[in-house]
Amino acid sequence: MSLPSERPTAVVTGASSGIGAATARGLATAGFHVVLGARRVDRCAAIAREIDGTAVRLDVTDPDSVSAFVAAVPECRLLVNNAGGAKGLEPVAAADEDAWRWMWEANVLGTLRMVKGLLPALVASGDGHIVTVTSIAALEAYDNGAGYTGAKHAQAMVHRTLRGELLGQPVRLTEVAPGMVETEFSLVRFDGDAEKAENVYKGITPLTAEDVAETIVFAATRPSHVNIDQIVIKPRAQASAMRAHRES
Ligand code: 8X3
């Protein structure tokens, strides 16, 4: 792949829809050449055409796919770890181990693999930045959510540990922890059950993918010496994962 060198390169994972797609668009507007990675590479390609970016197939749960992706990205200034998600919402006593395994792979090991793969390029850029999209699930526990909250806490630990380990290196670290955002998140969590997914946002004006993307772009466009460490972003009507005000 030949990358346009006049623009800094940003990699966005999970870029085929939702927060990832909105972030890719926002970063392109801010002057980045965006490399969009996701399993649904056709969707990435359509967005890439729109924003003069590049689409590369990426499955963060597959080490070989991450290696092939990294080999296709020789330069990188910004990595946005956005790929991930939840599967299921059930008590620990009824936990589905396959769903837990997927959540661990996608959120925790996916972030770990992307960081390991792209860290040399981020350091070599002289002004690298890793933004990880965690969740309020990385900050609290809630009933029926342990598979996801556990994975998000662990993903956050990978990210927050790097903040200390990379001191002295030219790499910034920003964690963005959203609450309720209306994307395909709940549809995936409830295995395609649209009614269940819609109920999550009933009576509430949730955040949009663009709301979160604007926050990511803000953090990414501060001067190099300014590290926005952590941003928690929720709808006005949401106080915590389990506590929200719904209009009837
Ligand atoms: C999504 C937010 O509250 O469903 O990451 O865990 S929540």
The fold of 9-244 is: Rossmann fold (3.40.50)
Q: Tell me: the pLDDT tens digits for 62-75?
A: 999 999 999 999 99
pLDDT in the model for residue 239: 98
User: C-alpha angle with apex 34: 122 to 226, nearest 5 degrees?
Assistant: 50
**How many angstroms separate the Cα of 37 from the Cα of each of 12, 49, 73, 165, 196?**
6, 14, 11, 26, 28
133 ligand 1 Cβ < 6 A: no
Query: Which residues contact residue 170 at a Cβ distance below 8 angstroms, ignoring those fewer than 6 apart?
Result: 123, 125, 126, 127, 128, 224
CA distance 202 to 248: 8
Contact 60, 113 (CB under 8 A): yes
Tell me the per-residue pLDDT of 31-53, one tens digit each, with 9 for 90 and over: 999 999 999 999 999 999 999 99
Cβ–ligand 1 distance for 136 under 6 Å, the answer: yes
CA distances from 151 to 2, 105, 187 (A): 36, 9, 19
Q: Which of 175, 66, 154, 161 is nearest to 110 (CA)?
A: 66
Please, which pLDDT band fits residue 2 given cuts at 50, 70 and 90? very low
Give residues with Cβ within 8 angstroms of 139, minimum separation 6. Answer: 156, 177, 232
Query: Is residue 61 within 8 Å of residue 37, measured between CB atoms?
Result: no
Average pLDDT over residues 125-133: 99
Answer yes or no: is pLDDT of 3 > 60: no
Q: How many CB atoms are located within 10 Å of the residue 163 CB?
A: 17
Arithmetic mean of pLDDT, 129-144: 98
- pLDDT averaged over every residue in the chain: 97
The sign of the torsion formed by the CA atoms of 47, 49, 51, 56 equals positive
CA 197 to chain centroid, in Å, comes to: 20
Residue 212 pLDDT > 90 = yes
* CA separation for the pair 60, 7 (Å, rounded): 25
Query: Which H or E run includes 96?
Result: none
Q: Which of 143, 180, 189, 211 to mutate to test the pocket of ligand 1 (most atoms within 8 A of CB)?
A: 180
Atom of ligand 1 nearest to the CA of 185: 1
Q: Taking residues 234-240, what's their average pLDDT?
A: 98
Q: How many helices (H) and strands (E) does the chain have?
A: 9, 9
Nearest atom in ligand 1 to 200's CA: 4
Check residue 5 and give its pLDDT. Answer: 56
Q: Is the CB of 18 under 6 A from ligand 1?
A: no
Task: Show the tokens assigned to 229.
Answer: 């460490």
Q: Tens digit of pLDDT for each residue in 138-160?
A: 999 999 999 999 999 999 999 99
Mean pLDDT within 80-99: 98
Q: What pLDDT shows up at residue 56? A: 98
Q: Quickly list H helices, the chain.
A: 18-29, 41-51, 63-71, 97-103, 110-124, 146-165, 185-189, 194-200, 209-220
Greatest Cα-to-Cα distance within the chain, rounded to the nearest angstrom: 54
Q: What is the pTM of this model?
A: 0.97
**What amino acid positions are annotated as catalytic residues?**
148
% of the chain with per-residue pLDDT over 90: 97
pLDDT at 163 over 60: yes
Please state the domain extents for the chain: 9-244
Q: How far is the CA of 104 from the centre of ligand 1 (A)?
A: 15
User: What is the residue type of 6?
Assistant: E
